Amino acid sequence: MRKFILIIFLVTIILTAFKIDFKYRPDCLPIKIDSLYDLNINGCKQKILVQSNNIDNPILLYLHGGPGSSLMLYSHIYSDKLKDNFIFVNWDNRGTALSYHDGMDTAKISEDQINDDAIELIKYLLKTFHQKKIYLLGHSFGSVIGLRLAANNPELIKAYIGVGQVINWDKSVAITYKWLHDTLSKAHDTIGLKRIEVEKFPYIDLVVKYGGHHRLSINLDSIIKASPYYFDGYLPLLKKGKEFSQYFVGKNPNPKAKITKSNSKIAIPLYFFEGVNDHVIACAPVLVVDYCKTVKAPKKKIVWFDNSAHFMCIEEPEKFQDELIKILNENE
């Protein structure tokens, strides 16, 4: 009897620690989960947030952009429907936000390393939830990793969703530069024009200023502060993580961001979410249109967001969720 009581006590502690809503089904398994916890992935402690109202749902893994631009503390505004239909997983890549700590080694951050970490995380999720494949979403820089994973690991992925998909850095820079130059000229922003004309480069702060990153009526910091996981000191931590995660990009400003032979033929369905007003430097939507004309895949589809720039999940959260659920229904 004492042994039985001890077992119940230990189970209670575990469930409390992992924030699992322990509602019983006939087989006595929990059906809901809301867990923020650390995983050791390839020797590095990294944070994941796993949320679902039914752990029998298919898995959706969200690869954030940046590098280093966590979306974990934004996700509360676009997750209600997702939790009803998926096991929704947010992951801070090594060195990003909640996966950052002082003293991290810059030699251990690279596109290849993030790719390898993603593979290990996918395998962990499949094993944990007894599934064969996941739905994979890559946003911005996460789409560089995501499309690579889709091309090279179709046995692990049911469908891929590229959000603000990166196709070709050099071509996108030229397209974005032209848009920004025209925009600055119309706004008579002579200071901005002088800046970009020196190196013919569309600086991101000017892209943000003129609405090419997200709608200017949206306050991103306010959304973060409304997250149930927000804490004092998070924003400085996020900044540190971005600086760390950008390290390898500084050494190579075009981290394998061009389409190669390896991802010109992909064995799983491809979906792309594109904002009509997206002018982020590496993510020109017209290049996604061109890519869809040439890539060989069982299915390929572009979903347009008319009231969004680069952050469809935040700018049009209802449509963002509805379109993901449509993809689920098409593939299940």
> Is the peptide bond between 26 and the residue preceding it cis, with omega within 30 degrees of 0?
no
Tokens describing residue 26: 């006939």
What's the pLDDT at 246? 80
Closest CA to 168 of 284, 296, 297, 300: 284
Helices 169-186 and 190-199: angle between axes, nearest 10 degrees:
160
In a domain, 179, yes or no: no
Closest CA to 56 of 30, 92, 37: 30
Reported as a pLDDT band with limits 50, 70 and 90, residue 21 is very low
**Angle, CA 310 vertex, CA 52 and CA 257 arms, to 5°:** 95
pLDDT, tens only, 104-125: 888 888 889 999 999 999 999 9
Under 8 Å CB-to-CB from 245, ≥6 apart: which residues? 66, 67, 68, 93, 95, 96, 109
What's the pLDDT at 251? 52
Distance CA 257, CA 268 (A): 20
Amino acid at 283: C
pLDDT, tens only, 307-331: 999 999 999 999 999 999 999 999 9
What's the pLDDT at 22? 37
Distance CA 107, CA 112 (A): 12
Reported as a pLDDT band with limits 50, 70 and 90, residue 202 is very high
Span of 17-26, 144-153, 245-254, 278-287 with lowest mean pLDDT: 17-26
Q: Are 78 and 85 in contact (CB under 8 A)?
A: no
pLDDT over 90 at 145, yes or no: yes
The whole domain housing 99 covers 2-166+212-331
In a domain, 118, yes or no: yes
Total domains in the chain come to: 1
DSSP single-letter state for residue 282: T
What's the pLDDT at 211? 94
In a domain, 230, yes or no: yes
Distance CA 136, CA 89 (A): 10
Q: Domain holding 289: CATH number?
A: 3.40.50.1820
Distance CA 309, CA 274 (A): 8
Q: Are 119 and 153 in contact (CB under 8 A)?
A: yes
Q: Which residue intervals of the chain are DSSP H helices?
A: 2-17, 80-85, 111-128, 141-152, 169-186, 190-199, 204-209, 220-225, 234-245, 247-251, 285-294, 312-315, 317-331
- 23 or 154: which leads in pLDDT: 154
In a domain, 171, yes or no: no
Reported as a pLDDT band with limits 50, 70 and 90, residue 263 is confident
Reported as a pLDDT band with limits 50, 70 and 90, residue 244 is confident
pLDDT over 50 at 20, yes or no: no
Per-residue pLDDT, averaged over 22-41, amounts to 71
For residue 65, the cross-strand partners are 69
Distance CA 320, CA 86 (A): 14
Reported as a pLDDT band with limits 50, 70 and 90, residue 222 is very high
pLDDT over 50 at 9, yes or no: no
Per-residue pLDDT, averaged over 16-40, amounts to 64
pLDDT, tens only, 37-79: 999 999 999 999 999 999 999 999 999 998 889 999 999 999 9
Q: Are 310 and 275 in contact (CB under 8 A)?
A: yes
Distance CA 299, CA 151 (A): 14
Tokens describing residue 309: 């720039």
In a domain, 190, yes or no: no
